[in-house]
Amino acid sequence: MGAWETLLGQPGLILADGGMGTVLMGLGLQSGGSPELWNVEHPDQVGQVHRGYLQAGSRIILTNTFGCNRLRLGLHHLQDRVVEFSRAGAQLVRKEVEAAGGHAVVAGDIGPSGGILAPLGELEPAQAVDAFAEQAGGLIEGGVDVIWIETLSSLEEMRAAVDGARRASKDIPIVATMTFDTRGRTMMGVTPEQAVRELSTWGLAAIGANCGNGPDEIVDVVQKMRAAAPPEATLVAKANAGVPTLEEGRAVYRAGPEEMAAYAIAVSRAGARIIGACCGSTPRHLEAMAGALKGKLIG
């Protein structure tokens, strides 16, 4: 049995991790810079973020590879380093997980391609599948336990990402979450119900929602997903710590640890089993969430 199945096989809620990019910015990542480059240039800082979440009690740690596909890395002229950064990202998490006792699952993070798929946009689906397969291949080489696709807004692109991951491995578990940030739908107009009806037929390990406009929005989305999902489907929620506002030129996420703790309870009641956070959250937020869910979490 793989690490993912072992984790899910225990009764209880599962704490995932929180934001990466926004934490790295606090550590000196320049805006517009490639966070993935840090997997090889500043591995200590990336490792420090993973360690913070492990100490907070996170049992699923995502690799720092959100934009690690050749289309997005191409914007930084780093398109030929997809596999290198993906592998390094996976190894970094693995090292921290081992050091912390080996109880957490290493999740290979895959974000959107950055393009819009044809015929609506210019990106050919086959090209997207190739890009996702390359990234998933690097992550699997680096030893991830599960592929974690997140922040997608179109089901067509989700299909391409899942197909890419499946090309890289026939049997690795795949988690897929979308972002419902536009009047209760994704930017591309997908409702939570549509997402769940479609994704629950794809043989995925878990499905859900991440990012967006803060905790309240995602609680609503998870409620709708739960109502439309098969009872056995595992749902994931990873909310942003609110919407950022600008104060003296710095991004400030308004939801503090207490608010995220309340969100953790609310979203568990709404039907999410895997609960974490996204942009603007820190290990402090996750600690508060772990505290709020005490007794309900897998130990």
Partner 1 sequence: MSDELDLTKLETPELIDQMKDDLYDGLADHVVAGVNELLRRKMTPHDVLTKALVAGMDAVGVDFRDGVLFVPEVLMAAKSMKAGMEILRPKLAESGAPQIGTMLVGTVKGDIHDIGKNLVAMMMEGAGFKVVNLGINIDADAFVAAVREHKPAILGLSALLTTTMPYMGIVIKTLADAGLRKDLIVLVGGAPLNAAFAEEIEADAYCRDAAIAVETAKKLISIRRS
Question: Which positions touch partner 1 (CB under 8 A)?
Answer: 25, 30-32, 75-76, 114, 116, 120-121, 154, 182-183, 185, 187-189, 243-246, 249-251
Round to whole Å and give the CA distance between 233 and 9.
Answer: 13
Q: What is residue 37's DSSP assignment?
A: G
Q: Nearest distance from residue 150's CB to partner 1, in Å?
A: 17
Closer residue to partner 1 in complex, CB, 25/298: 25
Closer residue to partner 1 in complex, CB, 58/186: 186
Round to whole Å and give the CA distance between 269 and 262.
Answer: 11
Q: Nearest distance from residue 214's CB to partner 1, in Å?
A: 13
> Which residues in the chain belong to E strands, given as ranges?
14-15, 60-62, 105-110, 146-152, 174-178, 206-211, 235-239, 244-247, 250-253, 274-277
CB 206 within 8 A of CB 243: no
Q: Nearest distance from residue 85's CB to partner 1, in Å?
A: 16
Q: Nearest distance from residue 194's CB to partner 1, in Å?
A: 12
Closer residue to partner 1 in complex, CB, 195/264: 195
Closer residue to partner 1 in complex, CB, 183/294: 183
Spatial neighbors of 273 by CB under 8 A, at least 6 apart, are: 13, 14, 206, 234, 235, 236
Q: Nearest distance from residue 221's CB to partner 1, in Å?
A: 16
Q: Nearest distance from residue 35's CB to partner 1, in Å?
A: 12
Closer residue to partner 1 in complex, CB, 43/244: 244
Spatial neighbors of 121 by CB under 8 A, at least 6 apart, are: 115
**Which pair of tokens denotes residue 36?**
């993935």
Closer residue to partner 1 in complex, CB, 39/240: 240
